[in-house]
A and B are shown apart, each in its own frame.
Chain A
Amino acid sequence: MHLPDGFVPVGLALAGYAGSGALTALALARLRRLPDPRAEVPRAAMLTTVFFAASALAIPVPPTTVHLMLAGLMGVLLGWFAMPAILVGLFLQAVLFGHGGLTTLGLNGLVFGLPAVLAMAVWRGIGRRWPDLGALVAGGGAVLLALALFAGIVLAGMPAALDAGVERAALGVFVLAHLPLVLAEGLIVLVLVRVLRRIEPGLLRHG
């Protein structure tokens, strides 16, 4: 799910940085409006570790393996804090694991950040009235959006040297292999939201 260095045209990579920068600026502006932004930092720091570690765990989905994305979880539990947390997590993944690259950090930030923002919006909208449904849609929808963004960027940045048909077919297999993740991440968010609502309702707000 991470775009590596050297496979994306320079223009697209720069556009990714611009998009990620704008989204982060928006997130920070929203965070500044909070009465006490610092209160959320411990949770954001710990969830950044979870997000970072998720890419190191490969889950076999024959014929391939997939990684958890957790963008939906970040959006639901962190709100606007998800965006800076995801960028830090992606940076560490690129530097320490070689997942993704530094030139593509902006694009990867959008692939994971936009779904997190969507998950936050879903949680604050649907989750307010129907928490279970909101959690499921936020977790699963984030995976779907991330897949769509990833596939869109790969198709948009297809180099001329490549056989586009073969690459499109491979991308189709890749997206199909990740579809079980839609349900899995929806269930992960659902279970976590249920547990948190029971033991510490104050941790989960809707806005």
Chain B
Amino acid sequence: MSPCSRRLGAGVLAAGLIAPLPALSHAALIEAEAVQAIRLQALYDTGEPMAGAQVVIFAPGAPAEAWGRGSTDAEGRFVFVPGPEEGRWTVQVRQAGHGAMAHVETGAAAPVSVASAAAPGWADRAVTIALVAWGALGTALFAMRGRRRSDASS
């Protein structure tokens, strides 16, 4: 043993004698258990992940008080372990005024996964736009028909 390390060892021993007992042991204890966690991914409806968005968690029965907070990673993912309260957990993901809320049930009869809303595909959107255009065309034609009739009667 070199003189230097011996001196260091003596120093540690002296400190150990003076300091209170818990500091003596450098052993670590790990208690591990498997828990149920809630994992979510927040995406914009364009498919882009909500990266770095703020997450606010509300426990069942306490919608006014935030139970926990965090932020999503680059893929918009976030994982947390809910408390022992069973029921409907509400998770809000928000960025620059945009975002969504999801509700996750915990407890024995809870479903495995939920989604806040499914993003419509391109075909769905095209059909929706076509239907709205059809409605607008009908409105336009109705207004024009009524006008022609009033023109004819006047």
Contact = CB atoms under 8 A, between A and B. Distances in A.
B96 A171 contact: yes
Majority secondary structure of chain A interface residues (helix, strand, loop or mixed): helix
Interface in A135-188: 150-151, 153-154, 159, 161-163, 166-167, 170-171, 173-174
B110 interface: no
Interface in A37-60: 38-39, 41-43, 45-46, 48-49, 52-53, 56, 58
Interface in B11-67: 44-46, 48, 52-54, 56, 66
Interface residues of A, number: 40
Most buried by A among B71, B132, B146: B132
A7 B99 CA distance: 8
Majority secondary structure of chain B interface residues (helix, strand, loop or mixed): mixed
Interface residues of B, number: 36
Contacts, number: 95
A36 B132 CA distance: 25
Contacts of B48: 64-65
Contact of A52 (B46, B71, B132): B132
Interface string B113-130: 000010010000100110
Interface of B: 44-46, 48, 52-54, 56, 66, 69, 71, 92, 94-101, 117, 120, 125, 128-129, 132-133, 136-137, 139-141, 143-144, 146-147
Interface of A: 2-4, 6-7, 36, 38-39, 41-43, 45-46, 48-49, 52-53, 56, 58, 64-65, 92, 96-99, 150-151, 153-154, 159, 161-163, 166-167, 170-171, 173-174
